């Protein structure tokens, strides 16, 4: 018998996160604060909405000629002395990197933030093959020492309080017991990681944007860790999803204006570095990775998600993410955008994620490249339902709803009947054993009158 | 081969041609006369120190009073010879650097990002590995926005970077800490 697919994983993990009420409140409010900084930065630019539109159109255009731009990028990068690799999936990506390491007899790697390498599970792979990998972004180093994945693509350790980090650093870096001052802890990490930078044979970085026209690529950080790694090591490997290419240098102006403002409300990241040729005596590699992206591209409903520039704004604003924490999504990229990307990689394993949303649309409103995030989440629910990837109990409810939505007369009746029923027997609708949706969603109080009834009455008056 | 498989999958799956926007970018809403003030305000917002100076002599005097110039110092600015350090092949020795002085060829008023290319840097690692950075920028080389700056910079340089302040992180409980992995301070002297 086929094992029933479980779609409640997110809800269960969220329930565990919610047990620490104080931490949940802090998490919720802190991310909302980041979201309000984003709002302030956006409001300071009168052209903000037009800028989003421009970014969206540049990305749409690029996707419609993606093959040509990748070929331009490859040709120009090679002319500049960069070795270009193509990886069909995560395994090939990891093998390519290990091969490069072996060619250089390298054992020490420093890595700056790259969600792609998280997606490919590069760290465990390299460690298994005897390579010492050190994540150098402070938040990423924290979660690496805790043996956890990042819980947010921009703020990897946002699920932790300074006491956790103080204890962790006391244990691993020898900071004073009980010390929790962020300045002190950051300084300790700086000293610890500086030694790693100085000893590394190879630096791995992500890529924020690659420019077809110049064959170069741009890496943005606030900490300076990508640059320190890349400039000190003899070998620099930059890894990018194939959707990260843009046509021209002038397009960088549009994206760099949007990225940091959307992410943290800063006018720019501290460092935006443009790599085009290896330094004398250095070797530079660029790895182009598919890992499901061409499948996403071929789907008119979901290809739009490939425009993502990984700013994290959709997470900061999401009422579900803020209260359930990044780990509850059990995938490299959490939150609304991750819930669209993950089922494309494995529909069964991630069937729960498109349901981890209220479909309120706030993500869509903040997205700097105008991805219709909440609509795609809704579409995934249909796809998953049709493919039978949804838990049977939830599916019955969904089919029932589809049935109602496609029969407006019946829908109106059911609504009215439901309002009567819920008024007299609210426990019925909120009882998890009868209504599987009630476990994860409190049923709203029934309005005394539906809008339709109210409108009809006004007409009569 | 993966390359061909990926390319042919793209050709099969990509949508019909979507046009690029005709015009890229937007006019700056910072008036020319406000460029310097906006720039200096943003230097502060980014955690740096912005100072107006009338001449390189003035800059030299201020550097001498603010920094211990007996510690390893490198300057790549013509007319500001403060070098007491000779870099070798071994880049790791740059870890001793206390101060690096660089000239930015163009800078952006909306976010105080300053552009340094390979010529300005000499060695790429310099502004990242040193403890302190001093940047010299001329008011004549200020532009309003990132759209304008990309018309000015040469992206055919081997390496170039926008730097906007000292390195920073907020990864511990979102408290801002200045001085992550890159420089811990950045002072910008704005010349006429
Ligand atoms: S989907 Fe949009 S808002 Fe979310 S991370 Fe990507 S670019 Fe940012």
What integer is the mean pLDDT of A100-118? 96
Res. A327 pLDDT band, cuts 50 70 90: very high
How far, CA to CA in Å, does A343 sit from each of A296, A338, A384, B34?
A: 10, 9, 9, 50
Compute the average pLDDT of residues A385-400: 61
Whole-number average pLDDT of chain A: 87
More confident residue, B8 or A332: B8
Tokens of A131: 């390579």
Distance from CA of A130 to the nearest CA of B (A): 24
Cβ-based neighbours of A116, under 8 Å, separated by 6 or more: A93, A206, A239, A240, A241, A289
Q: Which residues are bridge partners to B134 per DSSP?
A: B101, B187
Distance A310 CA to ligand 1 centre (A): 5
What would the DSSP string read from start to end of B44-111? HHTT-EEEE-SSHHHHHHHHHHHS-TTS-EEE-STT---------S-GGGGGG--EEEEE-SEEETTT
C-alpha distances (whole Å) from A80 to each of A204, A242, A277 are: 19, 19, 5
Residue A409's pLDDT is 40
Q: What is the pLDDT of residue A390?
A: 73
| Cα B122 from Cα B100, distance rounded (Å) | 11
**Is pLDDT larger for residue A460 or for residue B114?**
B114
Would you state the pLDDT for residue A216? 98
Those residues whose C-beta lies under 8 Å from the C-beta of residue A458, and which sit 6 or more positions away, are none
> DSSP states of B124-135 as a string?
TTHHHHSSEEEE
Higher pLDDT among residues B192 and A456, named by residue: B192
- CA-based max dimension of chain A: 85
pLDDT digits (tens, 9 = 90+) for A123-161: 999 999 999 999 999 999 999 999 999 999 999 999 999
pLDDT of A433 > 90? The answer is no
CA distance B189 to B36: 11
Ligand 1 atom with the smallest distance to the CA of A315 is: 4
**A429 against A151, higher pLDDT:** A151
Per CATH, domain B33-191 is 3.30.565.10: no
Q: How many CB atoms lie within 10 A of CB A289?
A: 27
Two structure tokens written together for A299: 């789907």
How many angstroms separate the CA atoms of A449 and A454, rounded? 6
Please check the confidence at residue A110 and state whether its pLDDT lies above 50: yes
Q: Contact A248/A283 with Cβ under 8 angstroms? A: no
| A177 CB burial (10 A radius; 0-12, 13-18, 19+) | exposed
Q: What is the pLDDT of residue A16?
A: 85
Q: Give the pLDDT score at A388.
A: 81
DSSP secondary structure code for residue A108 in this structure: E
CATH numbers and ranges of domains, chain A: 44-294 (3.40.50.10420), 407-460 (no CATH)
CB atoms within 10 A of CB A18: 14
- Nearest CB neighbour to A277, from listed B26, B158, B183: B158
Cβ distance of B6 and A86 shorter than 8 Å: yes
pLDDT at A444 over 70: no
Q: What is the ipTM of this complex?
A: 0.98
Lowest mean pLDDT of A15-24, A163-172, A219-228, name the range. A15-24
pLDDT tens sequence across A37-65: 999 999 999 999 999 999 999 999 999 99
How do residues B122-133 score in pLDDT, each as one tens digit?
999 999 999 999
pLDDT tens for each residue of B71-86: 999 999 999 999 999 8
Q: Across the interface, do B7 and A92 touch by the CB < 8 Å criterion?
A: no
pLDDT score of A393 more than 80: no
With a CB cutoff of 8 Å and minimum separation 6, the contacts of A354 are A339, A340, A343, A377, A378, A380, A381, A384
Cβ atoms of A432 and A439 within 8 Å: the answer is yes
What is d(CA A254, CA A47) in angstroms, rounded to the nearest whole number?
A: 11
Look at A138 and B180 and tell me if their CB atoms are within 8 Å.
yes
DSSP codes joined into one string, A384-431: HHHTT-S-HHHHHHHHHHHHHHT-HHHHHHHHHHHHHHHHH-HHHHH-
Among B148, B159, B174, beta carbon nearest to A30: B174
B61 touches chain A (CB under 8 A): no
The model's pLDDT over A244-288, given as tens digits with 9 standing for 90+, comes to: 999 999 999 999 999 999 999 999 999 999 999 999 999 999 999
Among A104-113, A253-262, A389-398, which is the least confidently predicted range? A389-398
Task: Give the gap in angstroms from C-alpha B81 to the nearest C-alpha of chain A.
Answer: 25
Three-state DSSP class for B138? strand
**Which chain A residue is nearest to residue B91, measuring alpha carbons?**
A232
- Residue A381's pLDDT is what? 94
Query: What is the DSSP code (8-state) at residue B140?
Result: G
For residue A41, give Cα distances in angstroms to A51, A267, A450.
13, 7, 39
Helix (H, G, I), strand (E, B) or coil at A314: helix
Place of tokens 């860790």: A225
- Say which residues have a Cβ less than 8 Å from residue B12's Cβ, sequence separation at least 6: A298
Q: Indicate whether A219 pLDDT > 50.
A: yes
């Amino acid at each position: 018998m086929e094992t029933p697919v479980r779609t409640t994983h997110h809800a269960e993990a969220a329930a565990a996160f919610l047990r620490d009420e104080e931490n949940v409140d802090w998490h919720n409010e802190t991310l909302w604060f980041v979201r309000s900084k984003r709002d302030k930065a956006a409001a300071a630019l009168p052209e903000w909405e037009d800028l989003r539109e421009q970014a969206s159109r540049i990305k749409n255009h690029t996707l419609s000629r993606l093959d040509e731009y990748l070929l331009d990028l490859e040709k120009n990068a090679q002319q500049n002395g960069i070795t270009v690799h193509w990886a069909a999936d995560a395994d090939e990506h990891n093998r390519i990197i290990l091969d490069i390491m072996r060619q250089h007899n390298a054992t020490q790697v420093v890595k700056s933030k790259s969600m792609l390498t998280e997606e490919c599970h590069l760290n465990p792979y390299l460690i298994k093959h005897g390579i010492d990998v050190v994540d150098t972004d402070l938040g990423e180093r924290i979660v690496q020492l805790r043996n956890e994945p990042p819980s947010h693509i921009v703020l990897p350790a946002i699920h932790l309080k300074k006491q956790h980090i103080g204890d962790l650093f006391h244990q691993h870096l020898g900071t004073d017991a009980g010390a929790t001052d962020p300045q002190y802890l950051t300084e300790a990490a700086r000293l610890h990681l500086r030694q790693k930078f100085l000893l590394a044979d190879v630096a791995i970085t992500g890529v924020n944007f690659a420019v077809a026209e110049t064959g170069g690529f741009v890496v943005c950080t606030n900490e300076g860790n990508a640059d320190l790694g890349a400039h000190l090591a003899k070998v620099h490997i930059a890894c990018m999803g194939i959707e990260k290419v843009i046509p021209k240098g002038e397009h960088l102006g549009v994206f760099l204006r949007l990225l940091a403002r959307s992410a943290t409300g800063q006018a720019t990241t501290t460092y935006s570095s443009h790599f085009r040729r290896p330094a004398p005596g250095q070797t530079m590699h660029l790895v182009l990775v598919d890992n499901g992206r061409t499948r996403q591209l071929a789907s008119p409903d979901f290809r739009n998600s490939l425009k993502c520039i990984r700013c994290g704004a959709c997470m900061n604003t999401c009422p579900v993410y803020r209260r359930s924490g990044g780990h509850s999504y059990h995938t490299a990229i959490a939150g609304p955008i991750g819930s669209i990307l993950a089922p494309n990689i494995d529909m069964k394993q991630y069937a729960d994620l498109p349901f981890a949303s209220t479909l309120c649309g706030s993500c869509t409103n903040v997205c700097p490249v105008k991805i219709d995030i909440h609509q795609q989440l809704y579409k995934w629910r249909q796809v998953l339902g049709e493919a039978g990837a949804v838990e049977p109990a939830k599916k019955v409810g969904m089919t029932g709803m589809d049935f109602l939505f496609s029969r407006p007369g019946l829908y109106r009746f059911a609504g009215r009947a439901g309002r009567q029923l819920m008024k007299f027997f609210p426990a019925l609708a909120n009882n998890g054993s009868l209504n599987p949706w009630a476990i994860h969603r409190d049923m709203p109080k029934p309005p005394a009158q539906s809008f339709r009834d109210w409108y009809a009455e006004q007409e009569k008056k | 081969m993966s390359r061909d498989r990926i390319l042919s999958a793209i050709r099969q799956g990509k949508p019909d041609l979507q046009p690029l926007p005709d015009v890229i970018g937007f006019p700056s809403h910072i008036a020319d006369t406000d460029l310097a003030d906006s720039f200096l305000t943003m230097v502060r917002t980014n955690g740096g120190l912005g100072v107006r100076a009338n001449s390189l002599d003035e800059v030299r005097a201020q550097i001498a009073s603010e920094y211990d110039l007996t510690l390893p110092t490198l300057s790549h600015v013509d007319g500001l010879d403060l070098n007491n350090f000779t870099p070798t092949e071994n880049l790791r020795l740059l870890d001793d650097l206390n101060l690096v002085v660089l000239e930015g060829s163009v800078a952006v008023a909306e976010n105080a990002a300053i552009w340094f290319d390979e010529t300005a840097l000499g060695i790429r690692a310099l502004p990242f590995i040193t403890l302190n950075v001093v940047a010299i920028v001329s008011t004549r080389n200020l532009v309003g926005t990132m759209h304008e700056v990309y018309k000015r910079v040469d992206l055919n340089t081997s390496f170039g970077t926008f730097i906007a302040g000292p390195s920073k992180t907020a990864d511990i409980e979102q408290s801002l800490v200045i001085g992550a992995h890159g420089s811990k301070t950045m002072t910008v002297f704005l010349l006429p």
